[in-house]
Amino acid sequence: MELLERFAAGDLEAFEVLFRQHQREVYAWIVRIVRDKGIAEDLTVETFWRIYKYRARFKPDGNFRAWARRIGTNAAFDHLRHARHETPLPEDVPCAAGADPAVRREVRDQIRNAFYELPAKYRLVATLALVEEESYADIAQAVGISEALVKIRVFRAVRMLRKKLNSLGVEVIAK
Amino acid sequence: MSNDEITKKMKELLKQAISPVKESDPRRDLWPQMLAKLEEQPAGAHAIPWFDWALAALAGAALIFFPGIIPALFYHL
């Protein structure tokens, strides 16, 4: 019996093989969304727990990688929704190597705060599209929505950020 | 400014404040944690979520307290 068939039938050894094959990739995707290594590790385990729980729904001729990424995205989204106001902001600063020195630390903090205050569904796609520069097609597949909807959510997130930053006096883009 | 230009501009600005994640490997083997979770919360393939039980209880209570809805229910089935 093939590995995926054995997994779908509930074989724990097959599950372990799949876990070891895909844990790095699932973790790498989740950490891009939640931006915290410890939380990403816990969510990776949560993702594989869900994968094992719903194994009967997996078709052995299907794409396990895409299915795992979708479940991982859902787990990360659940985290963003419930932990927004509970966990401190991830430490993204010091910022990227190519950061413009003209952009002051205070302004960077305002940008980060505004970004992390976005509603979860917008923050999810905005993080992947604007910060991680993932393709709209990959984001759409992982989130389970159309590419057009990804584009709409990204644009709405940008509009919310722009409004928030302008209200804070950060004139990022001329109105 | 077009929507695409605004999005591009915002992307440039975000890059100043939020770095893309570069290191993308877990710090340890997660399999032992996975096994511990499976022992703690067995993931039976046919486990019924709590909200399904809650929905069933609500439906049962509705049938007991409002038996008049039974014919309507059969009609709609």
Query: Mean pLDDT in chain A?
Result: 87
Q: Residues B5-26: pLDDT tens digits?
A: 888 888 888 988 898 998 778 9
| B9 and chain A in contact, CB less than 8 A | yes
Its pTM stands at: 0.79
H/E element holding A155? helix A147-167
Domain boundaries of chain A, sorted by first residue: 3-83, 105-167
Residues of chain A contacting B31 with CB distance shorter than 8 Å: 16, 19-20, 23
Contacts of A118 (CB under 8 A, 6+ apart): A126, A157, A160, A161
Which fold, A105-167? Arc Repressor Mutant, subunit A (1.10.10)
Q: Residues A102-158: pLDDT tens digits?
A: 567 888 888 999 999 999 999 999 999 999 999 999 999 999 999 999 999 999 999
| A144 and chain B in contact, CB less than 8 A | no
Which fold, A3-83? Rna Polymerase Sigma Factor; Chain: A (1.10.1740)
Residues of chain A contacting B30 with CB distance shorter than 8 Å: 19, 23, 27, 41, 44-45, 48
